[in-house]
Structure 1
Amino acid sequence: MRDIIMYQSSGEDELFVEKSTAELPQPAAEAVTVTVEIDAGQTYQEMDGFGASFTDSAAYLIHQVLDEAQRTEVMSKLFHAQEGIGLSFLRNPMGASDYARSVYSYNDLPEQETDPSLERFSIAHDEADIIPLLQQALKLNPEIKLMASPWSAPGWMKTSGSMIAGQLKPENYRVYADYFVRYIQAFAAHGLPIYAVTVQNEPLYEPHHYPSMLMLPEEQREFIQRELKPSFRKHGLNTKIFCYDHNWDRPDYPLTVLEQAEAEVDGVAWHWYGGAPAAQSEVLAAYPDTEVHFTEGSGGEWIPPFEQAFSNVMRTGIEILRNHSKSFVLWNMALDEQNGPAVPGFGKSTCRGVVTVNQQTRELTYTLDYYALAHFSKVIRPRALRLGTTASHEQLRSVAFRNRDGSVAVVLFNDGEAEETVAVKLQGEEVLTFSMAPKSAVSLKLSEMQV
C-alpha cells in the first residue's frame, strides 16, 4: 500500500485543501469514467521549478508595507518546502519594469552623458528591498534558482536616449554585455548566484508608457554571439543565456536566433499572451539540445474570476509542462489593492499578484494564483523528472513527475463540465480512485516507487 498525499481545489471555498485518501469513498470499478496512466519508463525534462517575480513593486510591498510578522509569514508560505508551497524559481527584472515605482537602470546618467567603462554602475536600488528578500528566500529554500531579464538597457545606450522605447545602438553592444556581467558579479557578491538571463523582455513589444526596447531576432543573435557569450566566457561566468522571452505566437523569432547562435544559447523563454504552448515543442523539435522555459504569465481582470481564472492557470500550467518547460513562472509576486504600484504614466493596471498587499489596511491575502501554483510546486520538486501520462478522456488534463526521493507527483485538472470518477494507475497498478468535480484540481504525491 502506497502512502498518498492529496490536495484538492474545487471552488473559492476549497482551495488547495489537504485530503485524507483513506476517507475517500471507494467507487466500484464500473463507475470509473477516466483512467490516467503514468508510464515511469517514458521520461522527459527535468524541472528547475515554479515561481514569480520580485519586481520593484512586489519587493516594496512585501519588504516595506508588511510588518515583520506578516513578512515572515508570507515568505515562509511562498518558499518553505514544508511550511509553504516551496517556490523555487524567481525572475528578477534588471532595472525597472512596468511594475516599478520609478523608471531606473543600474547606470542612469544625465542627458548626453555616456559611461562606456560603467564607472557609475550600481545596484544600490535593489539593495533596499529586492536583495534582502532574495536572500531570505534562499535561506528558506536553498534550491531556488534566480534568473534576470532586462526591460531596457540604460537610456544612454539606446537610439531613443531613454529607457522608454528605442533600440540598442550597435556600438554599445559590448558595453551592454559588460553591464550584464557587472550585474551578475554584483548579485554574486551578495550571495545571490544568477542561474540564467534572458537578453530582453518581450523584444517585439515597444510600449511608450513603460521601459521597453525593441530587439529584432537578427539583432539579438548578433548581440549574443558577438558580445554577450564571449563576455561571459571571458569573466568565467556559467550563467545560462535564454533567447526570445516573448509570446508563443512567434516561434520564428527563437528559430532565427538559434539558426546561427545555437552554440551560444542555452534555452528559449516563453510568455503566454499569444499563441499556444505547442510552440515550445515546435522549437525544441528543431533544436533538441535547447532548454524550454516559461518565464511570464499574469492573471488579471481580463479573465473573469473565479473559475475561469483559476482554470486558466491550471489548464495552461499543465500544458506548459507537457510541452517540455523546465520552469513555470507567473508575474508579480505581490501587487496592491489597485493592482500596482506601476510606473508613472502606466495607467490602470489589470494584473494580479500571487499575493495582494493592501497599502491602505496592510492586509495580506493569498490570491488564486498562489493556490494554483501550490498545486504544482508543493508536489513537483526541483530536479523532478517528467513521466509519460495519458488520460482516457481528453478533458482530464494530467502531468506527472518523479521526484529525486522516488515519490511520484501527479497534477490533474478536470476541464470538462461533468463530474468524473478518476482512476490513477502507475505502471499498470491502480493506486487511487476518486471523484473530481468540473473545473476542480487535484495534486497527488505517491510514496517512493521502485524503478
Structure 2
Amino acid sequence: MKVSRLARRAAIAVALTALSLGGCATFPQPRPAETARVWMTSGDRTRLLSEQPSLVFRTGTAAGAPVLVVDAGQQHQSMVGFGAAITDASAWLIQARLTPAGREALIRELFGREDGGLGFSFTRVTIGASDFSLDHYSLADTANPELSDFSTARMEEYVFPTVRQALAVNPDLKVMASPWSAPGWMKTTGSMIQGQLKPEYYGTYANYLTRYVRSAADHGVPTDYLSIQNEPDFEPDSYPGMRWSPPGRAEFIGRHLGPMFRSAGIQTRILDWDHNWDHPEQPLGVLADPVANAHVAGVAWHCYGGDVAAQSEVRDVHPDKDVFFTECSGGNWAADFSDSFSWTMKTLIIGSTDHWARGVLMWNLALDENHGPHAGGCGDCRGVVTIDSHTGTIARNQEYYAFGHASRFVRPGARRITSIEPEGLQGVAFVNPDGERVLIVLNDAAAPVSFRIREGGQSALATLPARTAATYVWRR
C-alpha cells in the first residue's frame, strides 16, 4: 500500500518535534566498548609493572581461545591490603641513610598511589627486637613485675616516625605488631634468646603488651592487629625468640590478654600462630579452647614450611576467623629474578588470597647492600627494596614488582571474587569498593598463552608472554 505524501510529511513533523524536545533518547545509541588497562612484569625484566595496550571487551563469546571467567556475583573475603614489615633495620635505613627528600620520595612510592606508587596499605612492626634490629632489647629490660622501666623509646627513634610518615601518605594503612620474645627475666632461660614464658608472668606479659598498644597509640601509631608471639614453634639460637605451645597460648589469650584488652576498651584484634603452613594443628588447638576462641580474631601464617592450602584447612573449621599472611622473605637462596618473581606471584599474591588471606605481607620493607643491618638470624635475606647504606641509591627487587601487581590496584575494602582460570594460567580477581574489577594472572610457562577474559556476556582477547604476570583493570 502506498503512503500518501501528506502522511509522510506528518510522520517527519512528529519525528522533528521529538528531537526538538530531547526525544533523541528514543533512538538507542550503541554502548561504548569497555576496555581493560593492562600492566605486565616479565621474568626477563623487559617489562617491570609496565603498562601495555588496553584490551577491548566485545559482546559475545568468540571461540578459538581458552576462557578465563570472572564472576563478580560471587564475592568472598574483604581485603585489608598488601605490604611489608617496617622492621628496626628498615626504619633505621629509611631514617638514617636517606636524605629528607629521598625519605619522602621512597615512602610516597611505597605507600602512596599517585604517580605509580605501590599503595601499600598493610605493614608490621616488631615489639622490641627481632633479628633485624641493631641489637637485642625489650621494652622493659629490668626485672620488675610492675614494669616500672617500661618504655617504647627505642621504637620512637626510627620505627614510629617511619610508620607515621607512611600513615600521612596513606591514612588507610593498617598496622600489625608482633613480639619476638618477652623480656628475658620473664622466661625460663633468663634471656630473650630461646626459652619459654613462665606461667607466673602471664599477667605481667599481658600488661606489657597492653602498655605497648597504648604507648604506640600515644605516639600516633595504631595497632590494628597483634599476634602474641612470632613463630611460637621455634627457638632461634642467635636472636630473640620464644617457644609457646597451643595450650599456653590459649591460656594467655583467653584468661589474660583478651580480658585485659576488653576491660581497657582496646579494639586491637588478636591473631594466633604467626608461623608456618606446616602445622595447622597448632592454631586449631588454640581455637578449640572456647575461652580463647572468643578473643581470637584470626590466624596469621608464614611461608617457610608447608603449603598455602593450610590456610583454607583451618578456615574451613573456623569460617568466622580472619586469615592473614604475615611473613615471607626473599634472599640469596632465591636470587634468580624470574624464578622468585613467579613463586611470589603464584604462592603469595595469588595463592594466599585464594586461600582467604585478607592481608599479605613480605618481611623487611628495606635492607642494605649487605642484607642488613641484623643482629643474628638471616644473613642473606632480601628486602622489598635495597637501600645502599653509603649512597642512598634504591634498588627495587622482584618482590617489589610482584606485590605491586596487587597493592597498586586492589584497594582496601575490595572483595575477592570468583575467577576460573584455564589450564596453564593461575589467577585471582577482586572487585574494588567503587565496582572496578582487578584481575591478576600469571603465565609461568615457557611459551606465551592467548586467552579470553569473560565477564557476563562480554569477553576480551588477551595474550600473556612466557614467564609473565599481568594485572587487568576494568569497570562494568
Q: TM-score, normalised by structure 1?
A: 0.94
Once the 2 structures are TM-superposed, how far is the Cα of residue 30 of structure 1 from its aligned partner? 5.1
Once the 2 structures are TM-superposed, how far is the Cα of residue 13 of structure 1 from its aligned partner? 2.8
| Distance in structure 2 (CA, Å) of the matches to 1:52 and 1:150 | 16
SS at match of 1:194: coil
Q: 5+ residue gaps in structure 1?
A: none
Say yes or no: does 1:9 pair with 2:10: no
| Distance in structure 2 (CA, Å) of the matches to 1:439 and 1:126 | 41
Contact 2:189–2:196 (CA<8 Å) still a contact in 1?
yes
Render the CA deviation track for 1:186-209: whole Å, top value 9, x for unaligned.
111122211010010000010110
SS at match of 2:363: strand
Once the 2 structures are TM-superposed, how far is the Cα of residue 20 of structure 1 from its aligned partner? 2.8
Identity of aligned residues (%): 42
Residue in 2 that maps onto 1:350: 380
| Distance in structure 2 (CA, Å) of the matches to 1:371 and 1:29 | 33
| Distance in structure 1 (CA, Å) of the matches to 2:191 and 2:365 | 27
Equivalent residue for 2:297, pick from 257, 261, 266: 266
Render the CA deviation track for 1:394-445: whole Å, top value 9, x for unaligned.
x201101110011011111012232100211112421x22211122000011
Equivalent residue for 2:173, pick from 134, 144, 157: 144
SS at match of 2:334: coil
Residue in 1 that maps onto 2:358: 326
Amino acid of the structure 2 residue aligned with 1:242: L
Equivalent residue for 2:231, pick from 199, 202, 217: 202
SS at match of 1:267: strand
Render the CA deviation track for 1:320-347: whole Å, top value 9, x for unaligned.
010000011000000011111110x44x
Say yes or no: does 1:443 pair with 2:448: no
Q: TM-score, normalised by structure 2?
A: 0.89
| Distance in structure 2 (CA, Å) of the matches to 1:312 and 1:359 | 28
Equivalent residue for 1:404, pick from 433, 458, 470: 433
Residue in 2 that maps onto 1:61: 93
Equivalent residue for 1:94, pick from 127, 137, 157: 127
SS at match of 2:34: coil
SS at match of 2:71: strand
Amino acid of the structure 1 residue aligned with 2:214: Q
1:33-432 aligned at under 5 Å gives the runs 34-83=66-115, 84-109=117-142, 114-260=143-289, 261-317=292-348, 318-343=350-375, 345-346=376-377, 349-393=379-423, 395-430=424-459, 432=460
Once the 2 structures are TM-superposed, how far is the Cα of residue 368 of structure 1 from its aligned partner? 1.3
What CA RMSD, in Å, does the superposition of the two structures yield over aligned residues?
1.5
Contact 1:40–1:427 (CA<8 Å) still a contact in 2?
no
How many residues are treated as equivalent by the alignment? 436
Contact 1:77–1:85 (CA<8 Å) still a contact in 2?
yes
Once the 2 structures are TM-superposed, how far is the Cα of residue 211 of structure 1 from its aligned partner? 0.6
Once the 2 structures are TM-superposed, how far is the Cα of residue 29 of structure 1 from its aligned partner? 4.9
SS at match of 1:223: helix
